[in-house]
Chain A
Amino acid sequence: MSEAGKAREPLFSAKNMKLLSNPLSKENPITIQVLGICSALAVTVQVKPALVLAIAVVAVIAIANVIASLLRKMIAPRIRIIVQLVIIATLVIIVDQVLKAFVYDVSKQLSVFVGLIITNCIVMGRLEAFGMANPPWKSFLDGVGNGVGYGVILVIVAFFRELFGSGTLMGYQIIPDSVYDFGYENNGLMILPPMALIVVGVIIWVQRHRDKELIDKS
């Protein structure tokens, strides 16, 4: 690979921007690739933990992707999975410590799910599919794109679940008391995990309705 010989691609070329924007819509990790569903169900009861986890995942994927990409020529193919795991696990432990230091209550709420970022299929999948085969800058964009694509869905689901399940957003009451006096009540089903699955299902439904290309032909 003689990159110096070729005309250098601008940092924000259309192709590179695609790496960033595609995971948001057409290759969304949750709604299209259906990865990382378990954490989407578990941490989306409220917006705050969902947001924190989303940021954590973005950081882990982006940095891990860059590291994997930097090391890609040194890693022997036979042990690549182990090396990837070491990279991800290190980053996750750092993220976990940072969360514990700065947002302790949210970190307690997320509990095991921070640690479980290690096993989040999206992280592993991006490293294996992209980081190991592409230069660092592209890997970085791809990591950020996928992390954000995952995070956006998480926050959307959490938005609906917190709004209808508890009447609050980010912990602040949104639905006014006058509505409750009128006989409105919070929907307890929204707080239960199955509803997250249904909300994700509705998002998938809406997305495929708008973009007919995504509909499976089978």
Chain B
Amino acid sequence: MKGLRRFVDKIKPPFEKGGKLHFLHSTFDAFETFLFVPNTVTKKGAHIRDVIDMKRTMIMVVIAVMPLMLFGMFNIGIQHYLLQPEFSGNTWQTIIPEVGFWKILWYGVLKFLPLIVVSYVAGLGTEFVFAQVRGHEVNEGFLVSGILIPLIVPPTVPLWMVALATIFAVIFGKEVFGGTGMNIVNPALLARAFLFFAYPAHMSGDAPWVASGSVDIISGPTPLASAASGTLDNFPSVMDMFLGFMPGSVGETSALLILLGGLFLVITGIGSFRIMASVFAGGFGMALLFNLWGANTYMDMPAFYHLIIGGFAFGAVFMATDPVSAAQTPKGKIIYGVLIGVFSVLLRVLNPAYPEGMMLAILFMNVMAPMIDHYVLAGNIKKRQKRLKTIKTEEV
């Protein structure tokens, strides 16, 4: 550690004001603060002293998705081996001893690691370029997006597409609005939306999961895709779906681990419990309504299925709660959450073109969030003015 500090100090002078490499100072700052706590202290003005800062907030989210990520990698391996002809007829319980735990995990790691690397390199690269050009510091905003993007895309999607989507999302989701903290929509979801509309063959329907005989491709329709095509026959058992042993994007399959991550976020005060709970409530309520209607198999599907298949739980816990793009007022958070749940189930069931409604529902409500807040505030002001009036008239 000391050696590293000395090394950083040694190469520092050219990057300081007046130095030869001053134009690269934001890149240098980024690496220095990544390695060490900054030694500059605020000297003037009032400021709040708190242990929580952006870096801490971001790291908490990353910790919360860690178990999910590890399980996701393991699950990729399981789904892969389950579809190999020589292991047909197995379930996940029997395939683990047959293939071996480490072999399964290793396969998943090999599939998933490139996604993470590409997402971070592309995203951070874009952020560095913008920080350089605009002369501000690189901040930690991309830490979370960088890990969320690989978690919400199918593991089979080509890497260059991930890179392109990440760059698009960072530029048009974040940098054009002024960088971290100014974004209107969630950058990770924007990356997914970009992939979804630009390369639909890789993102939705059966295509990413259909077996093609090649050993490399993971396959089998996700429960969501088969539900959209009107059959619930090849659904895994409820317990399997809850634990996450089903085909799907890396992060979205295990409802159990998502809930644990959500619990962690609520306890540490990073994620909003109101939003999470109201998204689940909204989705469940809407699904119940569809049960009452019951016009086709998809509508008749038990309501709680909606909460554990596809990206619903993941979206509710990690996407909808993004503190920048969500609603800010307590009442607004509930409206925002419930509408996300309602819209996502609505899209899933009624629109055959979009088997997964969660992404679009969250993006839509992200855009609406400022308006919700505006009306919640206006309503509050009105209420108080009314109260003020009644007090005055009583005094008279």
Contacts and interface: CB of A to CB of B under 8 A. Distances in A.
B158 interface: yes
A190 interface: yes
Contacts of B200: 188
A183 B200 CA distance: 15
B375 interface: no
Contact of A185 (B172, B176, B197, B199): B199
A192 B160 contact: no
B365 to A, nearest CB: 18
Interface in A183-217: 183-185, 187-190, 192, 198, 201, 205
B63 interface: no
A83 B281 CA distance: 59
Interface string B138-159: 0000000000000000000010
Instruction: Give the interface centre of B197, B198, B201 by most chain A CB atoms within 10 Å.
Output: B198
B194 interface: yes
Contact of A205 (B160, B176, B201): B176
Given A188-B199, A190-B198, A198 B172 contact: yes
B197 A188 contact: yes
Interface residues of B, number: 11
A146 to B, nearest CB: 28
A192 B161 CA distance: 18
Nearest to B133: A209
Nearest to A205: B176
B57 to A, nearest CB: 30
Interface in B184-220: 194, 197-201
Nearest to B203: A188
Contacts of B199: 185, 187-188
Nearest to B197: A189
A201 B176 CA distance: 10
Interface in A66-91: none
B196 to A, nearest CB: 9
Contacts of B197: 188-189, 192
A175 to B, nearest CB: 14
Nearest to A194: B197
A188 B158 contact: no
Contacts of A190: 198
Contacts of A198: 172
Interface residues of A, number: 11
Interface string B234-269: 000000000000000000000000000000000000
Nearest to B159: A183
Nearest to A184: B160
A183 B194 contact: no
B198 A187 contact: yes
A76 to B, nearest CB: 45
A184 B194 CA distance: 16
Contacts of A187: 198-199
A189 B203 CA distance: 13
Given A198-B172, A205-B176, A189 B194 contact: yes
B160 A183 contact: yes
Nearest to B160: A183
A162 to B, nearest CB: 15
Nearest to A183: B158
B158 to A, nearest CB: 6
Contacts of B176: 201, 205
A101 B390 CA distance: 74
Contacts of B158: 183
Contacts of B201: 185
Contacts of B160: 183-184
B198 A188 contact: yes
A183 B201 CA distance: 13
A201 B168 CA distance: 13
Contacts of A188: 197-200
Contacts of A192: 197
Interface string A157-193: 0000000000000000000000000011101111010
20 contacts: A183-B158, A183-B160, A184-B160, A185-B161, A185-B199, A185-B201, A187-B198, A187-B199, A188-B197, A188-B198, A188-B199, A188-B200, A189-B194, A189-B197, A189-B198, A190-B198, A192-B197, A198-B172, A201-B176, A205-B176
Interface of B: 158, 160-161, 172, 176, 194, 197-201
Top-6 shortest CB links A-B: A189-B198, A189-B197, A187-B198, A188-B198, A183-B158, A185-B199
Interface of A: 183-185, 187-190, 192, 198, 201, 205
Given A185-B201, A188-B200, A189-B194, 9 more contacts: A183-B158, A184-B160, A185-B161, A185-B199, A187-B199, A189-B197, A198-B172, A201-B176, A205-B176
